[in-house]
Amino acid sequence: MSTVGKVIVCKAAVAWEPNKPLKMEEIQVAPPQADEVRIKIVATAVCHSDLYHLLENRNTDGFPTVLGHEAAGVVESVGEGVTEFQPGKMETYGEDKLFTGFCLHLFYLTGDKVIPVFLSQCGECRFCKSPKTNQCVTAWTRIHQDLMASVESRLSCNGKRLHQFMGTSTFSEYTVVHQTAVAKIDPNAPLDKVCLIGCGISTGYGAAVNTAKVEPGSTCAVFGLGAVGLAAVMGCKSAGAERIIAVDIIADKFEKAKVFGATDFVNPKDHDRPINQVLADMTSGGVDYSIECAGKVEVMRSALESCVGSWGVSVIVGWTDVCDVAVRPGQLVAGRTWKGSVFGGFKGKVGIPGMVQAYLDKKLKLDEFITHKMTLDQVNDAIDLMKQCKCIRTVLTVCQQ
């Protein structure tokens, strides 16, 4: 039975209100409208931004919602005007000459494999046309900075509209996304791995490669060794950095950081002076590049101060909107550059397939980030693991392919 053009009733984890466990519900997913794509989600990971919206966001407007934005799936159907994506098809064939005994065969042809992107790429605006940015005029970061879930959504539960989180909402068996926010990927890609490319790994890796533009032979420091920080270490390594200093207050994270290329480890708790002084001593004056992946304003400042005057570049990747960050102007006058990076500077639709290819070519690690595998029903356990910093990434199986 084809689902095309019909409302799909399926399972989703609904966040009814802030700070409460998600609830598995039966939801209704409307058919895609013009320029939209309905995606069957196969795997989704839990990212810190999901927690941020659930726990720390001071704006309660974006509820009820379906969280989740780091996922991969297959196209189920498309709305009017969508030609870039092929939906799955049910096809019947007549008598098969090779396998007698079956007179009618039903084949389900899987639709294009895709990754929904929270950072859309319309391809036509001033920002899409510039190679200097990935922040399309329709991008989430540009239009919804203070509200992470949009009212406009094809998802509802018992007649109540569910907000769409970061334009994606992937803690659901099906979701509907605008075609400018869908990236088509290699059909050979394992969706339970490449889902990570939809947010955290691209964010950290690209911050080193695209935003900092780390050069071969350089010295780097990465602050905060969650999935994003580890991916930044991997980015520094692949850009040819000679020395990569991993900084974190949890000592046992260094073993993992080594896997991605870290050469040194500094735990600020082991020192009674500012960490930038420790790093300056280790590197005769400061690192060439520092990347902040902790989302804390004090760390942002010390990352900046840890990079060398004259040419040091510091990139802020961590997100917070609860307080301001301060700096002495002299730190910048001395020649340091302070930058920020969203989604690693990758343009969504074109950057993601390239990252998937790098994984398939064994130039990018993904499996090493996955510490836990669960099913969508266990999403609250996955959230608890992340709250307690007991995981790097948990991948949830949502639908069978």
Residues found near Zn ion in the complex (CB under 5 A): 122, 125, 128, 136-137
The one-letter amino acid at 309: G
Report the nearest approach of Zn ion to the CB of residue 179 (Å): 13
| Catalytic one of 48, 53, 163, 178 | 53
CB 286 within 8 A of CB 307: yes
Residue 148 binds which entry of Zn ion, Cu ion, none, CB below 5-8 Å type-dependent: none
Work out whether 49 is an interface residue with Cu ion (CB under 5 A).
yes
What tokens appear for 203 in the block?
């964010």
Residue 300 amino acid letter: M
Least gap, CB of 293 to Cu ion (angstroms): 12
Q: Which is nearer to Zn ion, 9 or 137 (CB)?
A: 137
Asked if residue 7 lies in contact with residue 30, where contact means CB atoms within 8 angstroms, the answer is yes
Choices 80-88, 181-189, 194-202, 280-288 (CB under 5 A): range interacting with Cu ion: 194-202
Of the candidates 10, 48, 49, 290, the residue annotated as catalytic is 49
The CA distances from residue 108 to 1, 90, 136, in Å, are 11, 5, 36
Residue 155, beta-bridge partner list: 29
Task: List all residues 6 or more positions away from 124 whose beta carbon is below 8 Å from its beta carbon.
Answer: none
47 binds, among Cu ion, Zn ion, none (CB under 5 to 8 A by kind): Cu ion
Of these, 199, 201, 234, 303, which contacts Cu ion (CB under 5 A)? 199
In the list Cu ion, Zn ion, none, the entry touching 303 (Cβ below 5 to 8 angstroms by class) is none
User: Does 49 participate in catalysis according to the annotation?
Assistant: yes
Nearest-Å Rg of the Cα atoms of the chain is 22
- With CB under 5 A as the rule, give the number of residues binding Cu ion: 3
Asked if 47 is an active-site residue, the reply is yes
Among 199, 220, 236, 391, the one annotated catalytic: 199
Q: Which lies closer to Zn ion via its Cβ, residue 120 or residue 169?
A: 120
Q: Which of 48, 69, 163, 178 is catalytic?
A: 69
Does position 47 interact with Cu ion (CB under 5 A)? The reply is yes
| Residue 122, contacted partner among Zn ion, Cu ion, none, CB below 5-8 A by kind | Zn ion
Task: State the minimum distance, in angstroms, from the CB of residue 386 to Cu ion.
Answer: 11
Beta-bridged to residue 8, according to DSSP, are 29
Cα atoms found within 13 Å of the Cα of residue 392, Cβ hemisphere only: 23
Which among Zn ion, Cu ion, none contacts residue 169 (Cβ within 5 to 8 A by kind)? none
Q: DSSP of 210-255, one letter per residue?
A: III-PPTT-EEEEE--SHHHHHHHHHHHHTT-SEEEEE-S-TTHHH
User: Is 271 an annotated catalytic residue?
Assistant: no
**Which helix H or strand E contains 374, and what residues bound it?**
strand 370-375
CB 120 within 8 Å of CB 82: no
Question: What does the binding site for Cu ion look like in residue numbers (CB under 5 A)?
Answer: 47, 49, 199
Positions marked catalytic: 47, 49, 53, 69, 199
